[in-house]
Amino acid sequence: MTFSRATLNEWAAAQKLDLIGVADPEYYAEVAPQWNPLSILPKAKSIIVFAREIPRSYFRGIEEGTLWMRVNRYLGADDAYCLCRRFEDNGFLAVPCSPLAQQRWPDGIEYKPSKPAPNVTPDIRVAAQLAGLGEIGYNGMFLTPQFGPRQALGMLFCEAKLDCDEPFRFGTICRREQCLACQTGCPARALGPKTEVCQVGSQTATIGVFNNEACRFCVNGAYPDTSCATAPPNRLAAACVRACIACLEDGGIVKTRFKAPFRRRAAWGLATFGG
C-alpha cells in the first residue's frame, strides 16, 4: 500500500513547512554505509526532505553590514520529530535525522565489524536533490527555484512507501561556469577555480573547491560550525552565497516577490587571510 502524498502535504502545511519531497531509497544502493540512510533504517521506503524559507531580512542586514546574525542551514529537531510522530501514529516507523558535519565521522565505536561506525551522516543536500526540491550549486549550497539558497532543510526516513519525486536536474538553477558570481563574490578568493565532481544519483556536476583554511577566518558573513571544530563554517550568509542570492534574483532565475532588489549597492568585503 502506498501512503498518501496528499496526507504528507497536509502535515507539512500544518507544520508551516514551505517545501517537502520524497526520494527513492533505491538511489542509495551504491552509497557508502557511513553516508547511507539505509544504515540507519534498513527497511526505509521513503527518504523525506523538507524546508522552510529563511526570511530575506536575515541576509539583508549582513549584506548592508548593519546587523550580524547566524543564519541556520538546518531546521531544528522539532519539525522532524513532529512528522515522525505523525507517521508512527499511523503505524509506520520513522526516524528523524539531524544533519551533522561529515568531518565528525567516525564519531563513536563500531559495534560490529561489518557495520559502519556511528554517526552515520547522510548528505542532506544530496537527499534534497534526489527528492526533487532543488540542486546543489557550484558554491555547495542547496538552491531551490522558490528561494535560491534561502531555506533551512530537515530530513527523516520512514518505512511508509510514498510516491517518490523525480530527482531535480543539475543546471536548472545554477549555470556554473556561465555564472560564477559566488566565486567572484568572495573577497578572499577562497572558492574555485579548482573544482570537484558532485554525484547525485545518476547525475554528476562540478562544484567549486573551497580553501577551507581561508573560510575558517572569513569575516564576510560566515559563521563557525559549532558542532565540529574541523568542519567548514556555515557559509549561508557569507559573501559567496549573498552574491548567489543577488544573481539568481536579478537574473530572474529565482522568482522574487520583493519590490526592492537584494543588492542595492556594491558589495562590501574584506580580503583576509590570503585574499
Q: Residues in the site for ligand SF4, rule: CB under 6 A?
A: 137-139, 174, 176, 179-182, 186, 188, 190-191, 210, 214-215, 218, 220, 222, 235, 238-240, 243-244, 247-248
246: left (phi over 0), alpha (psi -120 to 50) or beta: alpha
Q: With respect to ligand SF4, which residue has the nearer C-beta, 158 or 182? A: 182
Residue type, 275: G
- Complex with ligand SF4: residue 4 or 212, whichever CB lies closer: 212
Q: Which residues of 159-185 are buried (b: 16+ CB within 10 A; e: fewer)?
A: bbbbebbebbebeebbbbeebbbbbeb
User: How far apart are the two ends of the chain, measured CA to CA in Å?
Assistant: 57
Residue 185 DSSP symbol:
T
When the beta carbons of 13 and 270 are compared against ligand SF4, the nearer one is 270
In the bound state with ligand SF4, the residue whose beta carbon lies nearer, of 154 and 192, is 192
**DSSP class of residue 144?**
B
Gyration radius of the chain's alpha carbons? 19
Supply the minimum distance, in Å, between the C-beta of residue 213 and ligand SF4: 10
Nearest CB to ligand SF4, comparing residues 158 and 236? 236
Rank residues 150 and 235 by Cβ distance to ligand SF4 and give the closer one: 235
Query: What is the closest distance, in whole angstroms, from the C-beta atom of residue 196 to ligand SF4 in the complex?
Result: 14
CB atoms inside a 10 Å sphere around CB 142: 26
What minimum distance in Å lies between the beta carbon of 191 and ligand SF4?
Answer: 4
Residue (116 or 137) nearer to ligand SF4, CB: 137
Amino acid at 37: P
- Are residues 20 and 151 in contact, defined by beta-carbon separation less than 8 angstroms? no
- Can you point out the beta strands (E) in 103-202? 135-136, 142-143, 151-158, 191-200
Q: How far is the CB of 9 from ligand SF4 (least distance, A)?
A: 28
Cell match 529563511: residue?
A: 54
CB of 259 to ligand SF4, least distance (A): 23
* Strands laid side by side in the 151-158 sheet: 19-23, 46-53, 151-158, 94-97
* Closest CB 247 distance from ligand SF4, rounded Å: 5
What's the min distance (Å) between Cβ of 258 and ligand SF4?
18
